Structure 1
Amino acid sequence: MKPNMTEWKKYEKELFTKYSEEFPDHEIKINDKIIGQFSKVKRQIDISIRKNVTNYSVLGIIECKYYNRKVDVKIVDCFIGFLDDIKANFGIIITNKGFTQAAKNRAEVKSIKLHIHKFENIENLIKDVDYYFNQRIKNLELNEQDFYQRVKEYSNYIDFEKVDFEKKVIVFKNGFTNTEYYAWKKLMQETSRVFRDFPEIERIEIITPAKRKFFEKNKYIIEDRVYKSNIELNEFEIFMKVNFSELKNDVKIWRKFLNRTNLNNKNFIQSFAKKYVTSEILINN
């Protein structure tokens, strides 16, 4: 017997809110719908989580079961077929009452990425999603194919004609950054991202165009400039007070790193620019 609809919806909403807070850079939807590849009909999804990782789209499904009894094997069996129909990469069943032993046994099928948890153990819920999305990052290798595929995911503004794997240079097009300050900030963030993805890289150069606005002779002047950073890994780790290999091995640490106050602190970003960034007027050919 199920509890009333109000309790169930509240339970589902709490889970959606928790995942949205923990994974702000993922696409998370509640009451999503996907057409099944076999059923050919729209399938209702309690919570879906999507993200492109290393040129590969990952889809996770969260099924919320707020019951007055334990989840049994029939529910797990149906869920496995459901994941197959919508081509999900992994699935998680979350319940408030636990699971029968048969349900646990069925969930251990190795060909299905399925985890089941009690809602009270919320940290394990986060770790499981972290694992599924982070395993592809952990498998990145420093070769030309992985490098170009990963750089492609950084932004739609990558100038691939100027990206150079051998020289370890990444170039962005006009529009990626619009102001000098934002150019500084993105150079710091993208340098961190490259070193996280490929901690074997000893040095990375990143280039982005932006506009510099300043006041001179009683009027504002806007210059088109090119901003560059050319940074060595070991020195940057000291400056950022972080070990990038550790960030690659644990996406949760990476998200905490991105949310650190100093990464959005104006004085810290200015100190980064003073130490690492150069610029010159953009000359259009």
Structure 2
Amino acid sequence: MSITNTLDWKTYESITKYIYETLGKQSGVTVKGYGNDCKVAGKSGVSHQIDVITPHSEGSHTYETAIECKYWKKKVSKDIVMKLVQILEDTGISKGIIVSKSGFTRDGIQYAKHTNIEIVHLREYEEKDLKGNSHQIDIATLDLNIRIHRTRPEIISIDIGDNRKIEIKHEFDYFDFTIILKNGNQVALYDYVNDFRKQINCINDKTKLLTGKYKIPSSMLLNQQTGEKVDLDEILFTGQLNKSDDDRNLKYTIVDKVWLLMKSIFEERTFSFSESGIIIEHK
């Protein structure tokens, strides 16, 4: 059902039709008529407009229910209940339901108890309804089993001669170092790192330790963070291919926000209606 979250009388009628159509599917209830064009001629010869008509079959007999929607700021009184009773008598419709946004007066409830009229309070969800209830409906739970196989080149050590090593704790640390060549040109250490990683990938053997030597005579290594410069003639990388499994089990619950609350007064049943049209009964 495509709905908007702004209620007016027309949307209210449409939602009422949808609710009874949806809840009645399992028991064979359908919608026969709906809206301004839904009219039934009575024995009196008078035509009565009814908001929603739902037929229901039991054996060889078919019964109809007339549903009236009252999107009013005031409560529905006994006069409205009496009017629907008279329509049922004139049309021969078996049962009536009045759906009210603002509820019912005391005499309206009392009179309906002694007739074949059911009364229903359908209104927007309010903060006071949250006591013991969630403001959302769980639609579905997804269990995802993800198998991840990672293969990546790992640099174990970087030797710059004379028992000196570059300590790298994080991938971003590579960007702190620049090599100043003999001719004055500057090359990022990361360029050499990437080149060596490509060599490791070409081996494609996680059991084999690989070394890569880069001759850069009369050059200097600049640490841009500290400003320190050290002389070097070569860089020796040691690394290998690292393969790992990173399996994950993830669970997601898809939820929808509760929009409307429906209470069947005499049957003492309560339903929540979500923004996307999901209906659940409160047990």
TM-score bucket of the superposed structures, by smaller chain: 0.3 to 0.5
Q: Which has the higher contact order (CA 8 A, sep 6+)?
A: 2
TM-score normalised over the length of structure 2: 0.39
TM-score normalised over the length of structure 1: 0.39
Normalized per residue, which structure has more helix? 1
Structure number with bigger Rg? 2
